[in-house]
Amino acid sequence: MKEIDWSKLTFSYTPTDYIVRSHYANGVWERPYATSDATIPIHVAATALQYSQQAFEGLKAYRRMDGTVGIFRPELNAARLQASAKAMYIAPVPTDLFMEAVILAVKKNIDYLPPYGTDATLYIRPILFGTTPRVGVGPASEFEFCVVVTPIGPYYPCGFGTTPFVINRHVDRAAPLGTGQYKVGGNYASSFRATEPAHKQGVGVLFLDSAEHRYLDECGAANIFLIKDGIYVTPKSESILPSITNRSLMELCADLGIAVVERPIAVDELSDFQEAASCGTGAAISPISRITDPDTGKVYEYGEKPGPICQLLYKTIRDIQFGRVEDTHHWCKIINNQ
């Protein structure tokens, strides 16, 4: 294990020893291999640079309580990357190749996996992009698949807490029939003009649907759920990325006897809920203290401390990820860490 002060890790990039690569040409993906070269030569006219022909994923490896290493639901990340690839006219990465590359990246950088008890993890970033040089508009015929890993600290260095959010009606995250349901870089880059000013003020951004600016869409780069009278309610929309964390939380709700409803949620309903939170790979659950609507002046309060259902769900999913309870759903892919 590397000599790293795990307590000082943040959610930022720390160089590791290897990345994993695979190239697609002539209709075939090559066998993934590890390389210590973290740079990739790419033609200046590659479709990834010219036309944003790119997709990516995000998942984590955990050092579990019994010393084993687990990766949380990687097969769902493989499926979601395949959906993004098809939407962007990229050759999809087969599930077995995706799994091989991810596991190889973790094993080759196992010394960077934080020890159990630090609440830190190894973040895994698969990246897929077109490399064919093109000036005329069109898709590539060759692609690169890479897996980068980096150790990251706990999302809440001072403990599980809340964040205020603000509604933004002046920047659209994604069009109804656009790429919002796919994990592609353009969705995030186009949101920076809303999220970066907000982050400087210590708040997150709640995006609305771009058709009517009436319904909740996403919280920055994450899904949102709200609790009303003990019921888990989350937006249903074709422009929202299908979050693996949100899906897992809904399945945990079924285990815990918590009803789940997926439906459009209008802004004017926000006062009806007792708890609200964003959810995603980074934090699992990030409870929301309040949502401010600057266009109407309304403020929707949910409390400065996480509510009881947010606390229950956060503890439950983290206990599964870190191996503190039985993984009855078999969500964690356990790998040999030798």
Local mean pLDDT, 10-residue blocks, the chain (338 residues): 84 94 98 97 97 98 96 98 98 98 98 94 98 96 98 83 95 90 94 94 95 94 96 95 97 98 97 97 94 97 97 97 97 84
SS3 content of the chain, % helix, strand, coil (to 5): 25, 30, 45
Query: 55 has which bridge partners?
Result: 128
Q: What is the pLDDT of residue 154?
A: 82
H helix or E strand, kind and range, residue 143: strand 143-152
Q: What is the pLDDT of residue 159?
A: 76
For residue 338, the model assigns a pLDDT of 52
Active site residue 183: yes
Rounded to an integer, what distance in angstroms lies between the CA atom of residue 220 and that of residue 296?
A: 20
- 257 CB-near residues (< 8 Å, 6+ apart): none
In the DSSP assignment, the letter for residue 93 is P
pLDDT at 161: 92
**How far apart are alpha carbons 191 and 199 in whole angstroms?**
12
Summarised one tens digit per residue, pLDDT across range 151-173 is 999 887 777 999 999 999 999 98
pLDDT per position as a tens digit, 182-207 = 999 999 999 999 999 999 999 999 99
Determine whether 257 is exposed, middle or buried from the number of CB atoms within 10 Å of its CB (0-12, 13-18, 19+).
Answer: exposed
What is the amino acid identity at position 277?
A
- In this prediction, residue 60 carries a pLDDT of 97
pTM greater than 0.85: yes
Distance CA 35, CA 144 (A): 14
C-alpha 187/C-alpha 189 separation (Å) is 6
Residue 155, pLDDT score = 80
Q: What is the pLDDT of residue 337?
A: 62
Amino acid, res. 257:
G
| CB distance 63 to 116 below 8 Å | yes
Q: Which of 86, 183, 298, 315 is catalytic?
A: 183
Reading the block at residue 285, the tokens are: 């659950």
Spatial separation of the C-alpha atoms in residues 160 and 156, rounded to whole Å: 6
